[in-house]
Amino acid sequence: MSSVATAGLLSPENHRYVELIRNLGRKGVLRVGGIVADYTRYEPRGTAKAERQNTVITSVELGQFNAFLEAIGWRAIWSVNFAQGSLEDAVAEARAVAKVLGPRLLALELGNEVENYSHGDKPFRAHPYPYEAYRKQYSEWHAAIVKAVPGIRFAAPDTASSITWVEDMARDAKGDVQLLTTHYYREYQQRGTAEQLVYPDPRLKDALVRLRTASEQSGIPWRMCETNSFSGGGRPGISDTFLGALWTLDFMLLLATYGCSGVNMETGVNQLGFISSYSPIGVDDKGRTIAGPSYYGMLAFAVAAAGCPEVLPVEFDAQGANVTVYVLGAGGKARSAVVVNRDQMRDVRLSLKELGVKKGFGLRLAAATADSKTGITFGGSAVDEGGRWEALSREPVAGEPTTVTRMSAVVLRWDR
């Protein structure tokens, strides 16, 4: 929320930011929320403030944000203050946001990480605050907002980690939620290690299976609407390295494998008031918007997924190496593949013949070392001074197997 309240940041005049988003595709969703949403108020004729526990958004900033969305062609999820705000204020804000953003508003969120509202030194709700109490309040706010803004869509429950609350929301849905949402972080910042970004999270598969099942049974899509490596802004020296880019690419592909309809990588200034180490888009010492290491993981995903809404089953014998392979396509036909090699010792080789493909090209995601913070390239190219990216090196791929070196990745694309 504080990003929207910052003059000139999410603005069409911030040309670097516009180009960085455009590199990721012509369609996408920005989520405006986070913990700061629980400390934000909308004052149409007020004075804007971008503080972590005192953010004020005015009609001017809302208009600037809409112009930014128009420039990038994306839509937005918008959060209202369910923790400390009043229902009356939420209705007024929802009416204003819906009017200004129009079709750019994908959905409205009520609060952030709601299952934690009765926790902490200054809890927002009396303990205990079970799902049933939340659901009752959600229904009251939903009814009032829909009455004021007919047809507005909602994303919920926006939990910190509770899959049970998502399952309950899916089960109880009576047309009052259009997008199931939750968050995920690999670990807390203080306990984050490089090894945790090298190897899969043993907890994650079960959660993803449950989310996919809840979505399929309810017919409501699910979205990982806030996520990144280590909560609390990431671990410096790990989250802001090339390893973070490889983890980002693999993680986004893994989510897609389990039917996730979209992902929002936590970006920019966090609830603690500093730019997160894991932020895909940051600011340099001259105040210019720049691409961080994890941005390149998102970029590689965007290229691999373009025109490929399906993740297809694949069999690949990694022979014990720490390698993941994903095949993407449309209509059951493969169009691209991604090989992520996070093995610290071994290179691997993959032939397109195994996928029934005769020829294509490869774009490599590479850096000097896993802990590199600079010098990261995709397709032989880095993001330029204007925020633009274009591949400079497309390696022909035909009969010979492609070698994917240790701690690197390659995106393979081929003709239909």
Please state, rounded to an integer, the average pLDDT across all residues of the chain.
95
Tokens 């804007």 sit on residue = 48
The yes-or-no verdict on residue 361 having pLDDT over 90 is: yes
Mean pLDDT of 4-27: 96
pLDDT of 284 reads 83
> The CATH number of the domain where 242 resides is what?
3.20.20.80
The yes-or-no verdict on residue 359 having pLDDT over 90 is: no
pLDDT of 415 reads 66
The yes-or-no verdict on residue 117 having pLDDT over 60 is: yes
Report the DSSP beta bridge partners of residue 341. Answer: 323, 408
On whether both 223 and 351 belong to a single domain, the answer is: no
On whether both 70 and 176 belong to a single domain, the answer is: yes
On whether both 287 and 321 belong to a single domain, the answer is: no
On whether both 381 and 408 belong to a single domain, the answer is: yes
pLDDT of 307 reads 95
> The CATH number of the domain where 351 resides is what?
2.60.40.1180
Mean pLDDT of 332-346: 95
The DSSP letter of residue 389 is -
On whether both 94 and 165 belong to a single domain, the answer is: yes
pLDDT of 416 reads 54
On whether both 335 and 294 belong to a single domain, the answer is: no
Q: Which of the listed residues 270, 305, 340 is the one where a domain comes to its end?
A: 305
pLDDT of 400 reads 79
Q: Which residues are CB-neighbours of 116 under 8 A, at least 6 positions away?
A: 160
Q: Is the dihedral of CA 180, 303, 370, 325 positive or negative?
A: positive
On whether both 80 and 226 belong to a single domain, the answer is: yes
Report the DSSP beta bridge partners of residue 181. Answer: 157, 223
Q: Which of the listed residues 246, 278, 305 is the one where a domain comes to its end?
A: 305
Q: Residue 26: is it exposed, middle or buried by C-beta count within 10 angstroms (0-12/13-18/19+)?
A: exposed
pLDDT of 77 reads 98
DSSP string, 48-90: -EEETTEEEE-HHHHHHHHHHHHHHT-EEEEEE-TTTS-HHHH
The yes-or-no verdict on residue 142 having pLDDT over 60 is: yes
Tens of pLDDT, residue by residue over 387-400, are: 999 999 999 987 77
Question: Taking phi first (over 0 means left), then psi (-120 to 50 degrees means alpha), and beta for anything else, what does residue 333 get?
Answer: beta
Mean pLDDT of 261-270: 93
Find out whether 159 and 183 touch, Cβ atoms under 8 Å: yes
On whether both 355 and 269 belong to a single domain, the answer is: no
299 vs 311: CA distance, rounded Å: 17
Q: Which of the listed residues 266, 283, 305 is the one where a domain comes to its end?
A: 305
Mean pLDDT of 92-116: 98
362 vs 394: CA distance, rounded Å: 6
Mean pLDDT is lowest, of 198-202, 230-234, 237-241, 285-289, for 285-289
Expressed as residue numbers, the domain containing 180 is: 2-305
The total domain count for the chain is: 2
Q: pTM higher than 0.85 for the full model?
A: yes
On whether both 259 and 197 belong to a single domain, the answer is: yes
On whether both 281 and 325 belong to a single domain, the answer is: no
Four-point Cα dihedral 153, 159, 163, 165, nearest 10: -70
**Helices assigned H by DSSP within 102-192:** 131-148, 163-172
On whether both 259 and 281 belong to a single domain, the answer is: yes
Q: Which residues are CB-neighbours of 293 under 8 A, at least 6 positions away?
A: 240, 241, 242, 244, 245, 367, 372, 373, 376
The yes-or-no verdict on residue 353 having pLDDT over 80 is: no
pLDDT of 357 reads 77
Element (H, E) at 32: strand 29-32
On whether both 50 and 145 belong to a single domain, the answer is: yes
Share of the chain above pLDDT 90, in %: 89
